[in-house]
Chain A
Amino acid sequence: MNSKKIDKLVSVSFRNNSLDREKVNRIATLLSSADLKKYINSLKLTERKKSLIVSSPTNNQDLKKFEKLFPNKKILFKKDPSLMLGVRVVDNDIVYEFTLRNSLDKIINYIEQNYD
C-alpha cells in the first residue's frame, strides 16, 4: 500500500479531532503487518502534529497562555526537574527552549569546543 492510501486511512481514523478507537481497530485488522507498521507510524506523526508538549521543572505552569498561542493544538504538560528553570515547548519537530539547562549546556559546549 502506498503512503497516500495510508495517509487517507489515518485521516478517516479521527473523529472530532481525536482518534476513533472503533475505526482504528477495524482498519488495523484489515492491514498486513508491513502496512500496519506504516499506519501506526503515520498515526503517531499525525498525533504529534496535533499536540503541543509543555515541559517545566515545576507544576505551577499556566497552560491557558499556550492554549491561546496554539488554539488548534492539544496541550500536554510534562514535569521535568532536569530543566532547572524556565519552560520547553515542543511543537511537532520544533522545540522552543527557554530553560536554564539549555543555556548551561551551550556554555559547556562552547568551552569544550574552544578551550583545551
Chain B
Amino acid sequence: MIDDDKIISELEKKLMTFGGNSKTQNVGEVIKNTDGVIVASGLSKAVMGEKVVFKDGSIGAILNLDEDSASIILLGEASSIKEGDSLKTTGQMLGIDVSEELLGRVIDPLGNPLDDKPKIKRGKNMPLEKIAAGVVEREPVGTPLKTGIKAIDSMIPIGRGQRELIIGDRQTGKTAIAIDTIINQKFNKKPVICIYVAIGQKRSTIAQVIDRLNSEEALSYSVIISASASDPAALQYLAPYSGCAVAEYFLEKGKDVLVVFDDLTKHAWAYRQISLVLRRPAGREAYPGDVFYLHSRLLERSVKLSKENGGGSITALPIIETQANDISAYIPTNVISITDGQIYLQSDLFNAGIRPAINVGQSVSRVGGAAQTSAIKSVSGKLRLELAQYNSLAAFAQFGSELDAATQKQLDRGKRLTEILKQPQFDPLTENLEILSIYAVTSSLMDDIPLESFQRFEKDLHQFAKKRYPNVLETLSAGEKPSEATVKQITKLVEEFKKMFG
C-alpha cells in the first residue's frame, strides 16, 4: 500500500512535466539502412551523439551530421528498420542506468540484462561519453592494486588509477592475468569493484569467465558488460564506454574500481567497420583518422581522484592482441603510448612452460613503483637485477661450452628466479606469501632445492608458514620494510621447513 502511494505521488509530481515540457519533437525519416548504419533526413535540431528513437521502439545514436541528413548507428536488430520509417530525437545523450544492484550482474552495453534477471531500474543515468577528470581533481598514483601474481606485483607493480596494458599474441594468458587480478581483489580490506568488459569475444569464452568468477566468489563485487562477436558493431563500439560509465558511478561514491577491457583490438575493428560504413576516410590499415582518440578518450577516464574529490580511483587494464608478437603494429603502438606501462606476454615463453608468460625485459610500469609497498620493494629490487643479468648471460651461454663458476652460479640463480615466478592460473597470492617466496630464492635459501621440486616446495612452504608462523605473515602483510628480526624469522621458517621437506 505504501508502495502504491509512493508511485502515485511520484506520478503526480511528474504530471506537470508529462503535459508541460518537451512539446516539440524533432523528427526524421529513414532514407537508407546499410548494415546497422542508418541515414535519415530531417532531424535538423539533432546533436552529435544524441539518442534517437525509431517508430518500432529501437534506439540509435547519431554519429554523423551532414547538410541534409544524419547518420545513425542502430543499437539493436537492424532488419526491422526500413526506408520511410519515422524516428525522433530524444534530447538525451546515450547513457546507462547504474546502481549498486548491478554488482554480480551480466549486462549489455545499454544496461539490458543478459542473465535472466530483471532489468535495473531507478538507477542513476550515467553518460557513456564524458570528458575525463581534469588535472586539479587528480592526485598521483600511490596505492597499490595487487594482482596476486608474483611477477607483476614485484617487478611491474600496478597502482590504483593506473592504465596498464596487457599485450600479447592469442593464447598467451592475457585474459587469465585480468581474471586473476579480479579474483585477487577479494583479499582486499577496502573492496575494489571490478568491471569486466568483453568486446567481440566468443559467447562461450564469456560464459567461461562468468563461471570462473562465480566459482571463485568474485562475481559479488563484479559487473560483466558483454558485447560478443555476434552483437552489432555499434554495441561492441559502445561497450568500453559503458564499462567506464559504470565505473564512474562507483568512483563518484569514492570507491576504487578496476576495469578490464578485453580486448581493444576488437574494439578498434568494430569502430573501423562502423567508420567504413559511414564512408569516413580510411587511413592506415583502413582505420579512420580518429582511432587514436577513440582509445585515448576512453583510457584518459582512468583516474585517481584527490581526497577532496572523494579519493576514488579507476584502474584500467586494457588488453591488446598482437599478431606474431608484433607490437609495432598500428593499434598496439597507439595503446602502448596512451597507457602507463605494459605487461608483454610472449608465446615462446608460454610454450616453454613459463606461465604467466611475461617478458620481464619488455614489460614496464611507469607509475606503479610509487604505489609499491616497502615490504615488496625490499625483495623486488634484487629480483629484477638478477633476472636482467641472467637474461643477458643466458644469450651468451648458448655459444660457449665452458663457463666460469661465477657465471654458472648466476645462470643457476636466474633459472631459480624464473622458476619461482611461475604461477598456476586462478591461484593469486597475498602479498606476504609473494614476499616469502621471492625472499626465499633471492637470499639463496632455496639454492639446494632441485628445480623440479620448486612448485611443490613453494606450495608446502606457504601452508607451513600459515600454520606455524602466522605472526611472520601478519608482519609482512603490514606493508612495512621487514626488520632484521623479521628477516631472521623468515630465514628460520624456511630452514625449518627445508628439514621437513622430503
**Is there an interface contact between A98 and B23, defined as CB atoms closer than 8 Å?**
yes
Kindly count the residue-residue contacts between A and B in the assembled complex, taking CB atoms under 8 Å apart: 50
B63-102 with Cβ < 8 A to chain A: 68, 88
Indicate which residue in A92, A106, A113 contacts B121 across the interface (CB closer than 8 Å): A113
Q: What's the nearest-Cβ distance from chain B to residue A41, in Å?
A: 8
* Given A103-B18, A107-B18, residue A93 in contact with residue B42 (CB < 8 A): yes
Does B14 lie at the interface of the complex (its beta carbon under 8 Å from any beta carbon of A)? Answer: yes
Q: Which residue of A lies closest to B25 (CB)?
A: A95
**Is there an interface contact between A94 and B24, defined as CB atoms closer than 8 Å?**
yes
**Is there an interface contact between B121 and A115, defined as CB atoms closer than 8 Å?**
yes
Indicate which residue in B14, B26, B68, B121 contacts A94 across the interface (CB closer than 8 Å): B26
Number of A interface residues in the complex (CB < 8 A):
20
Interface flags for B20-40 (1: CB within 8 Å of A; 0: not) read 000111111001000000000
**Is there an interface contact between B23 and A115, defined as CB atoms closer than 8 Å?**
no
In terms of DSSP, what is the predominant structure of the interface of chain B? mixed
* Given A95-B24, A106-B18, residue A45 in contact with residue B45 (CB < 8 A): no
Does A80 lie at the interface of the complex (its beta carbon under 8 Å from any beta carbon of B)? Answer: no
**Is there an interface contact between A45 and B68, defined as CB atoms closer than 8 Å?**
yes
Indicate which residue in A93, A98, A107, A113 contacts B26 across the interface (CB closer than 8 Å): A93
A97 to B18, CA, bound (A): 11
A90 to B31, CA, bound (A): 19
A14-35 with Cβ < 8 A to chain B: none
Does A114 lie at the interface of the complex (its beta carbon under 8 Å from any beta carbon of B)? Answer: yes
Number of B interface residues in the complex (CB < 8 A):
22
Q: What's the nearest-Cβ distance from chain A to residue B24, in Å?
A: 6
Q: Which residue of A lies closest to B118 (CB)?
A: A116
Interface flags for A77-113 (1: CB within 8 Å of B; 0: not) read 0000000000000101111111000010011001101
**Is there an interface contact between B27 and A93, defined as CB atoms closer than 8 Å?**
yes
Q: What's the nearest-Cβ distance from chain B to residue A27, in Å?
A: 20
Q: Which residue of A lies closest to B7 (CB)?
A: A115
Indicate which residue in A41, A94, A107, A116 contacts B11 across the interface (CB closer than 8 Å): A107
Does B317 lie at the interface of the complex (its beta carbon under 8 Å from any beta carbon of A)? Answer: no
A6 to B11, CA, bound (A): 51
B44-73 with Cβ < 8 A to chain A: 44-45, 68
Q: Which residue of A lies closest to B40 (CB)?
A: A93
**Is there an interface contact between B45 and A94, defined as CB atoms closer than 8 Å?**
yes
Can you list 9 pairs linking A and B with CB atoms under 8 Å apart?
A3-B68, A93-B41, A94-B27, A94-B44, A95-B25, A97-B25, A98-B23, A107-B11, A115-B121
Chain A residues engaging chain B, CB cutoff 8 angstroms: 3, 41, 45, 90, 92-98, 103, 106-107, 110-111, 113-116
